[in-house]
Amino acid sequence: MAQTPGRRATLAEGAAARHVLSSADLLERGCVTPGEVLALLELRLYGAHGDRPPTTSAVELGCAVAVDWGVGAVLTRPGHVRAAAATLAHRGPAVVTALGLDDSDPRPLQVEARDLIREGADDLAVMAPADRVEGDLVGLLEQVEEVAHFASGVGARVRAVVDTRGLSRCVLLDACEKLAHTGIWLVQGGLWRSTLPSFSEVKAMRQVVPRDVLLKWTAPMMRVDTLLSCVAAGVDRFSIDDVPGFMAHTIARAELGPLVFPDPV
């Protein structure tokens, strides 16, 4: 991955031109292939259940699995970005990490974003905690817009991860709609250490987030039929913990017939 701003900047045009597979693309056709399912998956390599952070070797092994299967992205802690980027070596999956996770880090988010992009991050998550959404939404929007503008200039992307816990439906949807207009490429419902949003909340989020901004439900996928129902409701990206196991089920399911989307409920 890139180590200097100049090298990273040369990737900006290609990143901007890269087509992003969305639920709208798939729904227009009415079905999905196992290979396209893989493009919708983001492999969690950060310690998904509040466990101790994974070792660097475990992250490298996970990245090797991601390359073998061709998933859309890997999700890593900031301290593992360099190792993940070196292992992936531009072979498909994007490197996603989060900004502002370390409370002891005094750097502004834009400076942290710059450093992580230099280390190889392709996609940066800005957290939108419920208390910040309720108490300082204007400041949050300005911060997200600033980081998104910087990242887009050097070929990276920014997503907003919204903690839905405790938010009224009205406040949640207002925040999602406004965040979607800050220059981000994806809105994600649910922080990984928080209570995850319900499917009904995610469907409501889709109604206010424009189709050119993707939507992710943080809940990890266990079965392809659940994923198909989510895509039918307009969800574009999904977390995954066990790629080989999930895809074994998906491939077996596809052998029985096309992976078609149910009618939205």
Q: pLDDT for 8-32, tens place per residue? A: 333 333 333 346 899 999 999 999 9
Residue with tokens 């943080």: 218
Looking only at the bridges linking them, the beta strands covering 31-32 and 214-220 are: unpaired
pTM metric for this prediction = 0.88
Count the neighbouring beta carbons within 10 Å of the beta carbon of residue 111. 13
Q: pLDDT for 200-235, tens place per residue? A: 999 999 999 999 999 999 989 999 999 999 999 999
- Is the torsion defined by CA of 78, 217, 241, 88 positive or negative? negative
- Percent of the chain beyond pLDDT 90? 78
Geometric angle at alpha carbon 11, from 83 and 149, rounded to 5°: 95
Q: Decide which of 166 and 74 is more confident.
A: 74
Q: What is the pLDDT of residue 264?
A: 74
Cα–Cα distance for residue pair 244/255, rounded to 1 Å: 16
| Arithmetic mean of pLDDT over the chain | 89
